[in-house]
Amino acid sequence: MSSVTFLGTGGGRMVVLNQLRKSGGFWLKLGEANILQDPGPGSLVMVHRLKLVPKDLDAIVLSHRHIDHSNDVNVMIESMTGGGFQPHGRLIVPSDCLNSDPVVLEYVRPFVEIIEINEGLKTTLNDIEIEFPIRTMHPVETYGVIYQWNSKRLGYIPDTEYFPKLSGAYKNIDYLIINVVRMKNDMSIRHLNITSAKKLINDIKPKLAILTHFGLQVLKASPEFQAKIITEETGITVMAAFDGMIQDLDDRESLENWV
């Protein structure tokens, strides 16, 4: 069975620093493989609260080094590898997570195999193909990702401002997870707002889109209501994630099968 579990759905400083939503990223179970994407603050706590098993992880992936995406990376590497006594798994990160002012501490690096992301990188993890089709437009090195398994494809659009080439990088995907921090447009913030998210969803046309990483503006405007509006306007099923939500990725008939 394949699924995505949201360990947090908050984004933006006000929401994350005040924990108005949790901020632990999301856990993908794709066939037999387990992948943790963007372990922000509280990821370890949510992993245990939701009874996930860190030693089951095969990889930890960071889209970028911002603290709401990377804060728990070191403690999750320790947890994945039994405090470093059972080295295994991969850490897949942009190079600026490893170089100057690194967010990945040097002492945990021998516990995992480290792969640096470049735009266009394709790698495999067991039977899963992992592709980083595009570098997004954000103040630090940031990459979108597509996971392909059992002939299904899940794309993740992390923090970015809108740019037209973005949708072309996510052709033929079944599931789209998209970070929507803002309601209004503010070019200085370099994040997607709800209007640009709708445009991307409409252009990419996944079978299911899941909104997450909500800033305060989006929380005040009700993410569920916004998802409903986008569904009505595009004809594409759009959901708003909530903390602890588990979405089945095998069978779209079981959308009710949440915790």
Residues that bind Zn ion (CB under 5 A): 66, 159
In three-state form (DSSP H/G/I as H, E/B as E, the rest C), the secondary structure along 32-70 is CEEEEECCCCCHHHHHHHCCCCHHHCCEEECCCCCHHHH
User: What is the smallest separation between the CB atom of 213 and Zn ion, expressed in angstroms?
Assistant: 9
Pick the closer one to Zn ion by CB: 41 or 89: 41
Closest CA to 60 of 40, 87, 39, 43: 39
Q: What share of the chain is helix, strand, coil (3-state, %, to 5)?
A: 25, 30, 45
Q: Which is nearer to Zn ion, 38 or 78 (CB)?
A: 38
Q: Supply the minimum distance, in Å, between the C-beta of residue 151 and Zn ion.
A: 31
Give dist(CA 62, CA 70) in Å, integer: 7
Nearer to Zn ion among residue 143 and residue 149 (C-beta): 143
| Amino acid in position 109 | R
Nearer to Zn ion, 78 or 159 (CB): 159
As measured in angstroms, the least distance from the Cβ of 157 to Zn ion is: 12
Query: Strands 113-117, 90-94: parallel, antiparallel or unpaired by DSSP?
Result: parallel
| Residue 64 CB, nearest approach to Zn ion (Å) | 6
